[in-house]
Structure 1
Amino acid sequence: MDEFGVFACFGVNGPPQRLLSAEGSSRVAVAVPPSVRQVVLFSSGPWGERICVNAELNDAERIPITIGKLTPYNKCLSWEQWEEETWTDSVTLNVTLEGGNLGKTNWSEPQLILAVKEYTPKETVAPLAPREINSKRKRERMAEEELDEGKETKRGEEENVCPNGGPEKTTPVRKVRGQTKGSQKLFTSGGDANKTKGVNGAGEAQGIVGRTPPQSAARTKSRLAKTPTQTAPLVSPSGRWGQTLCPIDAQTAILIGGQGARMQFCKDPMWKLCTEDMSWMAAETLAEGPTPDARIGHTAIFDPDSKRIFVFGGSKNKKWFNDVHILDTQSWKWTMVEAQGKVPPLAYHSCSLFRGELFVLGGVFPCPNPEPDGCSDSLYIFDPHLSIWYEPIVTGDKPSPRSGHSACVMQERKIYVFGGWDTPVCYNDMYMLDLGLMEFSAVKTSGKAPSPRSWHGSAVLSDTKFLIHGGYNGNNALSDTFIFDTDTNSWTEVTLPQLSIPRAGHSIITMETPGHHHFTEEAEDADMDAGSINRTLLVFGGGDNERNFYSDLTTVTVEELLGAV
């Protein structure tokens, strides 16, 4: 097989079947036989100038079940029915090649439809089931699952999903296959606008780059959502929540992962942000090596000494991760760590870097696999030099089990932990871990504290101050902003128009940005230190519990924030 080709195996015993070739069509759709419960897609031969192969598994209504992408550095994908909650008996695999010699391709023509050669000759390929039969199956399955849902409700099963917006707004609700689209407002539907229109337009509000978050939740099902593949390349990330945004130098940050509308994992999982002109560049195909699986609720931490990003944990549907992936930002190569020691699969935990080690606290863990079963209160440390996990001995008054909390390293000797929740309780307490003594203590605060919340954003502003913004309180996404002073242990609420949009599951970082900032007399009185000069707070993505997913990039100068205290 010297020439380029894309092949698929349908079922564990199915032989490889060619879907795309060097000279053939660049688009193909394949009806997956009902007997098949596993699909493997892979490429063979030199890629040349080809960029990637987009792959989607769609249901009978052409709604994506799951998505993936082959690249020159990630040449194989696999799907199994047990991983995908919406896998039905009428699944279509849609494959589209991008890049290379596409001069013969007419994107307005219908894509090539192939039939699968089944392993057992007597079996015939079942065409897509009629809409009436499929609807009947869905209704029957929905009724069965509603009965099951009423019989058994696990305490932690809500943890793997961001907040819901149904009539009973108390705790998140895990999505099931038969669930109606209107029963879970946040991050299930209505976010298509982020992907199909308005993503690249400049926002009208000052400090917002990209799509300005909508103010209304009234949306109908987009016809574009049924299009298997959007061929126009994106110039900025699609709307999402649960992603990470990780600075790697003074002008560059890396966006990894996330989940968008209809619980679909983002088709564009990795981007590079340049703060010199606030421009985005798709980065998935830039790095060699095995890329991490699509996921949410993971963490990504950059080590400035080794110039590496450490990605840990997270979840995807019913799959939970405890893997460590490392991206070397100098060689742009991914590696997966074969670590010693034990750490449970975790999502919505916090991860802090101290003296080259990763401090992982809390999070949701599955027990037994794959269902989540409550939250963790444990502290795990990963030593990259020895590739080993260990649990340190800690003393004092440690935080209760929680997930969706924040952790800020202050003055390279203390970690401040705020908020989070352990269903159905939401927290707004504060704890501090002394990294010299390895001792936890509850922090008694003064001033107006943030209300209980999880999935909020946090960022260090100076040696003594950090920020908390937004989040989810069990009912609604929040838009308020607070600054905590570690010298006085006091909270101060600040109000800025740039941070007035309710959002949860978003990313907040601080970075140096070009331009000279002139300090006001009030800012100098606010104890502004040299570390805040020419630094800017960046807020990306999240959702509003009203079916909207954001792809905007909001900026506020640290000077302005500290001046408002």
Structure 2
Amino acid sequence: MDGFSIYALFGLDEAPREVLGVGKSGRGSVAVPASVQQVVLFTRGRWGSCTCVTAELRDAEKNPLLSAKLTPLNKSLCWEYWEDGVWSSGATVTVKVGQGGMSKDGVSDAELTVSRKEVTPQGSVGPRVAREAHGKRKRKQEVQEDDGPGQENLCPNGAASENTPHRRGSKTLRGSLFPQGDENSGPGASARTPQTQKPKGRQGKTPTQTAPLDSPSGRWGHTLCPIDPQTAILIGGQGSRMHFCKDPMWKLCTEDLSWVPAETLAEGPTPEARIGHTATYDPESRRIFVFGGSKNKKWFNDMHILDTQSWRWSMVEAQGKVPPLAYHSCSLFRGELFVFGGVFPCPNPEPDGCSDSIYIFSPEMAIWYQPIVTGERPAPRSGHSACVIQGKIFIFGGWDTPVCFNDMNMLDLGLMEFSTVKTYGTPPSPRSWHGCALLSDSRFLVHGGYNGNNALNDTFIFNTDTSSWTTVVHSRLSSVPRAGHSIITMSTSSLEGPVAEQDQDSECTPQTLLIFGGGDNEGSFFSDLITMPLEELRD
């Protein structure tokens, strides 16, 4: 620790301030000027072999706002805050030097436990979480960040076996998921990320980009919703610098794979920018239902409807109650929307971090209600996937800090009964924020995701008739690890030509797989569009 010190920088016009001096150990703090918008912490000098630094930002009332860790591999951090443009007066930064159990390469023991013990369980059902009375699992209250998706939007820590290894301190994980750096610079380009700008003003259209774009900027946490064989609608997302995208809505024309900015095409009150929402298309009414999501400290339980015939937005003044949720699933069945799971805001009014409840929205009645459900409910979770097949919702994966899942659960929509699905074959490892797409009336695909430590690039197909998993190896799908992306299938003959003409049976009605966006856990956000005939998956 000789010669080791920690500094804080509050702007380019002033010198760094020493938080903890050379040769000192223990704790140090420094006041944050009320006029700054950014705090940078960095270290100087030689790190000890077993040293870590915990940094915490508190407001004037000593309430924790942000926290993170510095290690020999992560020697600096950047916090941005946009509460009315600056931090409130009286905020302080405190650092504490302690023993972090570092290995020779500077990686903490906890991180090594997660990354090196990531093993696909041999059992047919994924690891379960210990549940308390009434099917609830309590959690410790955590601090919500003021930027980006917030504390509850963080990826979970990985789970690999019955004794799930995990890391404490999700701020370190957040720094790993979205490091800091430069802006996005075009299709396929990536960006490093400090933090997010808080939304200004009331609900309304997000300001458009200064320079016109010919394709969406890189992002994750968005939705891509097909509305006809030639068109899909992209809504929301977050990308470079953890900023919510200023180009939040696009129309994808699959005939020539061209993008058209769509925010100004629709009239009415545009939904506020967000991530972790759902967008569900009803082919009978030809409307898109956008529900929930979050933005900074703001969490949503509003329901917005886009009529794709009149191209007009409306917001429903629904009866009944539904909590604010993000990273839930929303499934359409017989004209109603079935919302399952999701993460609550933090500080959290509910006893659990995530939900295990079903909420149903009836567009005809404009009402939310909760059905009577029997059977064994899945553990509370968010970031999972859900597919409706033959009157059943198949729910896979997800997370509830610090546990990641790879179990398969089913809700029979006729009986309203939950059950755990015993699967065969090698299942995907535990993950959340993965992509999922319906391939046929008995199969769906799972791709990528986040295991609490790394983004993934593997692909699996689940057959509901045989309850079996099949591993898919394809260079186009495994080229880049990604999470928080969108996957859809569309029966677009113009995209794949002869392949589409060959596939006439019902098993192959959606002929083309499309993947857009996501992040790689290394600070990169993608704006590429991958297309692939489903025939190649069968091969």
Distance 1:434 1:172, change over 3 A: farther
Q: Which of 318, 323, 334 is equivalent to 2:313?
A: 334
Q: What TM-score, normalized to structure 1? A: 0.65
Give me the CA root mean square deviation.
Answer: 3.7
Shift in Å, 1:529:
3.9
SS state of the match for residue 364, structure 1?
A: coil
Shift in Å, 1:558:
1.3
Q: Match for 1:173: what amino acid?
A: S
Q: Match for 1:282: what amino acid?
A: P
Q: Which of 439, 447, 459 is equivalent to 2:417?
A: 439
C-alpha distance in structure 2 between counterparts of 1:60 and 1:184, whole Å: 16
C-alpha distance in structure 2 between counterparts of 1:308 and 1:240, whole Å: 24
SS state of the match for residue 471, structure 1?
A: strand
C-alpha distance in structure 2 between counterparts of 1:372 and 1:261, whole Å: 33
SS state of the match for residue 290, structure 1?
A: coil
Alignment match, 2:115: none
Indicate if the aligned counterparts of 1:258 and 1:265 stay in contact, CA closer than 8 A.
yes
Q: Which of 457, 464, 489 is equivalent to 2:467?
A: 489
C-alpha distance in structure 2 between counterparts of 1:384 and 1:155, whole Å: 35
| Pair 1:506 & 2:485 matched | yes
Q: 1:339-361 deviations in whole A, cap 9, x for unaligned?
A: 00000000010000000100000
| Pair 1:160 & 2:115 matched | no
Alignment match, 1:378: 357
Distance 1:183 1:516, change over 3 A: closer
Shift in Å, 1:257:
0.4
C-alpha distance in structure 2 between counterparts of 1:426 and 1:220, whole Å: 24
C-alpha distance in structure 2 between counterparts of 1:435 and 1:230, whole Å: 43
Alignment match, 1:400: 379
Q: 1:444-467 deviations in whole A, cap 9, x for unaligned?
A: 000010000000010010111100
How many residue pairs get matched? Answer: 404
C-alpha distance in structure 2 between counterparts of 1:371 and 1:188, whole Å: 31
Distance 1:229 1:346, change over 3 A: closer
C-alpha distance in structure 2 between counterparts of 1:160 and 1:479, whole Å: 21
Alignment match, 2:259: 280
Shift in Å, 1:231:
3.3
| Pair 1:173 & 2:154 matched | no
Indicate if the aligned counterparts of 1:463 and 1:529 stay in contact, CA closer than 8 A.
no
Q: Match for 1:87: what amino acid?
A: W
Gaps of 5+ in 1: 1-33, 37-57, 62-81, 92-133, 176-181, 200-210, 222-227
Indicate if the aligned counterparts of 1:270 and 1:284 stay in contact, CA closer than 8 A.
yes
Q: Summarize the alignment of residues 422-461 of structure 1 with structure 2, pairs less than 5 Å apart.
A: 422-461=400-439
C-alpha distance in structure 2 between counterparts of 1:487 and 1:476, whole Å: 31
Distance 1:388 1:188, change over 3 A: farther
SS state of the match for residue 309, structure 2?
A: coil
Provide the identity percentage: 67
| Pair 1:516 & 2:497 matched | yes
C-alpha distance in structure 1 between counterparts of 2:278 and 2:266, whole Å: 19
SS state of the match for residue 262, structure 1?
A: helix
Distance 1:339 1:88, change over 3 A: closer
Indicate if the aligned counterparts of 2:440 and 2:510 stay in contact, CA closer than 8 A.
no
Q: 1:77-132 deviations in whole A, cap 9, x for unaligned?
A: xxxxx9x97037876xxxxxxxxxxxxxxxxxxxxxxxxxxxxxxxxxxxxxxxxx
Q: Summarize the alignment of residues 456-467 of structure 1 with structure 2, pairs less than 5 Å apart.
A: 456-467=434-445
Distance 1:307 1:493, change over 3 A: same
Alignment match, 1:320: 299
Indicate if the aligned counterparts of 1:300 and 1:310 stay in contact, CA closer than 8 A.
yes
C-alpha distance in structure 2 between counterparts of 1:371 and 1:393, whole Å: 20
Indicate if the aligned counterparts of 1:375 and 1:422 stay in contact, CA closer than 8 A.
yes
Indicate if the aligned counterparts of 2:166 and 2:403 stay in contact, CA closer than 8 A.
no
Indicate if the aligned counterparts of 2:439 and 2:510 stay in contact, CA closer than 8 A.
no
SS state of the match for residue 93, structure 2?
A: helix
Q: Which of 511, 521, 528 is equivalent to 1:552?
A: 528
Q: Which of 523, 532, 535 is equivalent to 2:508?
A: 532
Q: Which of 258, 283, 289 is equivalent to 1:304?
A: 283
Shift in Å, 1:517:
3.4
Distance 1:441 1:534, change over 3 A: closer
SS state of the match for residue 492, structure 1?
A: strand
C-alpha distance in structure 1 between counterparts of 2:296 and 2:383, whole Å: 17
Shift in Å, 1:544:
0.5
Shift in Å, 1:144:
4.2
SS state of the match for residue 159, structure 1?
A: helix
C-alpha distance in structure 2 between counterparts of 1:371 and 1:398, whole Å: 17
Indicate if the aligned counterparts of 2:234 and 2:249 stay in contact, CA closer than 8 A.
yes
SS state of the match for residue 466, structure 2?
A: coil
Distance 1:373 1:275, change over 3 A: same
Alignment match, 1:86: 81
C-alpha distance in structure 1 between counterparts of 2:244 and 2:260, whole Å: 19
Distance 1:318 1:90, change over 3 A: closer
Q: Match for 1:237: what amino acid?
A: P
Distance 1:369 1:449, change over 3 A: closer
C-alpha distance in structure 2 between counterparts of 1:349 and 1:473, whole Å: 17
Indicate if the aligned counterparts of 2:193 and 2:240 stay in contact, CA closer than 8 A.
no
Shift in Å, 1:425:
0.6
Q: Match for 1:311: what amino acid?
A: V
Q: Match for 2:170: what amino acid?
A: V
C-alpha distance in structure 1 between counterparts of 2:397 and 2:311, whole Å: 35
Q: Match for 1:350: what amino acid?
A: S
